[in-house]
Amino acid sequence: MSKLSRRSFLKGAGVATGAAIIGASPLSAAAESEQAPELVANPSQLPKEPLVAYVRDAQKAEVTLLVGTDEVTYRDPALTKRLLRTARPRKHGAGEVA
């Protein structure tokens, strides 16, 4: 599994490829840009089989993807950085869970 590319892994799992997705539908190309993430006030319903990504080790830039019954961990400094930046504490607002 570790020899697979992220793109081929996601494709094999029947998921459209893109950047990090946390319990969400496939991202558009815009989401891969460096623009600031947009808060979603009314998120879509929890999917039956969510794609889950989490930062396993921020120092080592390890990100784990769970898709269907597959699991794979990548070293992806850019994705790790983007996730950590998005996850920075902020004042709670629409679309956020306190």
Partner 1 sequence: MSSHREAPEISKDPVADSTDVYAFVSPDHPDTVTIISNYIPLEGPAGGPNFFEFGDDVLYSLYIDNDGDAKPDITYQFQFTTQVQNANTFLYNTGPIGSLDDPNWNRRQFYSVSRTDRKNSTTMLSDNLPSPPCNIGPRSTPSYAGLAAAAVRDLASGETVFAGQRNDGFFVDLGSIFDLGDIRPLQNLHLIPTPMTASVDTLSTFNVHTIAIRVPISMLTKDGSVPTDPLSGKAVLGIWAGASRRKVRMTEGPLHSGAGPWVQVSRLGNPLFNEVIVPMARKDEWNASDPVDDNDFAAYVRQPELGKLLPVLYPGVFPHLAGLTASRDDLVAILLTGLPSGIVPGFQNYTGPTLADVLRLNVAINPSSTPNALGILGGDLAGFPNGRRVFDDVVSIELKAIAGATYPLVNASYTPDGAVAAVNGYVTPGAGRYQSAFPYLGLPHDGFSTPSP
Q: In the complex, which residues of this chain contact partner 1 (CB under 8 A)?
A: 23, 45-52, 66-71
Distance CA 60, CA 47 (A): 30
User: 17 by DSSP, 3-state: which?
Assistant: coil
Rounded to a whole number of angstroms, the minimum distance from the CB of residue 70 to partner 1 is 7
Where would I find the beta strands (DSSP E) of the chain? 52-57, 62-67, 70-75
If the CB atoms of residues 36 and 46 are measured against partner 1, the closer one turns out to be 46
* Identity of the residue, 32 or 70, whose beta carbon is nearer to partner 1 in the bound complex: 70
Q: For residue 82, what are its two tokens?
A: 């983007």
Closest approach, Cβ 68 to partner 1, in A, equals 8
